[in-house]
């Protein structure tokens, strides 16, 4: 139907425009026709390359998840001081979720609608390597007196909760505060500094 060069170009164009629309209008507020118009393609072409809007967003999610997982893994395995590492870790969450703010809600939807697919998708990314790396690093820092005794499991849950929930709360926050999504995302850029300090202070001996 298309040669290889055209195929890559068209797929990239669809992904790029879909990503912008999902961020601007949300998943439910973006239609296949919106994406087709923005990418100068048509509904048939989008279905040919991706099968559905759901699959298209799933690929965008995978791109974001891969980037985040790899960055966190590289950060955790570096020889940076622990509290500097925490700053980078929190920054990574806010960086990727500011660019892809629909991802937390996509995850929640998958948990409710298609948990088997989500579990399989996450397992393919080998999240256990990050988990074991975190546990090892936490234990080493406790033994060296850098941080107080803490459960790696509870620590991980706390970081995930503090980093992800503000993005899940976006639609409610913007409605209550009567501000735009852009204004709220800008507010979160200051909030991430607070979160980082909050976590570090909780861990100091």
Share of the chain above pLDDT 90, in %: 28
DSSP annotation of 6: H
Q: Which residue has the higher pLDDT, 42 or 92?
A: 42
DSSP assignment of 113-147: H-HHHHHHHHHTT-HHHHHHHHHHHHHHHHHTTSS
Share of the chain above pLDDT 70, in %: 97
- The CATH architecture assigned to 57-203 reads Orthogonal Bundle (1.10)
Confidence of residue 201 (pLDDT cuts 50, 70, 90): very high
Confidence of residue 144 (pLDDT cuts 50, 70, 90): very high
Could you read off the pLDDT of 32-44 as tens digits, one per residue? 999 999 999 999 9
- The CATH architecture assigned to 1-51 reads Orthogonal Bundle (1.10)
Q: What gap in Å lies between CA 89 and CA 195, rounded to an integer? A: 11
Beta strands (DSSP E) in 11-130 are none
Short-list 7, 13, 8, 47, CA closest to 31: 47
Q: What gap in Å lies between CA 156 and CA 138, rounded to an integer? A: 10
Q: What gap in Å lies between CA 113 and CA 72, rounded to an integer? A: 28
- Tell me the domain boundaries of the chain: 1-51, 57-203
């Amino acid at each position: 139907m298309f040669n290889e060069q055209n195929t890559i170009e068209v797929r990239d164009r669809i992904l790029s425009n879909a990503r912008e629309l999902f961020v601007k209008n949300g998943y439910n507020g973006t239609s296949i026709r919106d994406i087709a118009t923005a990418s100068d393609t048509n509904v048939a072409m989008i279905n040919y390359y991706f099968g559905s809007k759901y699959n298209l967003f799933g690929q965008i999610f995978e791109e974001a998840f891969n980037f985040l997982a790899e960055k966190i893994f590289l950060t955790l395995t570096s020889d940076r001081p622990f509290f500097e590492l925490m700053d980078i870790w929190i920054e990574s969450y806010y960086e990727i979720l500011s660019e892809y703010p629909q991802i937390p809600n996509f995850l929640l939807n998958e948990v409710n609608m298609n948990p088997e697919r989500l579990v399989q998708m996450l397992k393919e990314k080998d999240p256990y390597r990050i988990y074991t790396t975190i546990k090892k690093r936490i234990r080493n820092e406790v033994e060296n007196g850098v941080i107080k005794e803490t459960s790696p499991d509870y620590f991980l849950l706390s970081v995930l909760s503090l980093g992800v929930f503000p993005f899940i709360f976006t639609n409610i926050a913007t409605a209550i505060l009567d501000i735009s999504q852009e204004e709220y995302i800008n507010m979160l850029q200051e909030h991430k500094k607070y979160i980082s300090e909050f976590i570090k202070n909780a861990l100091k001996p």
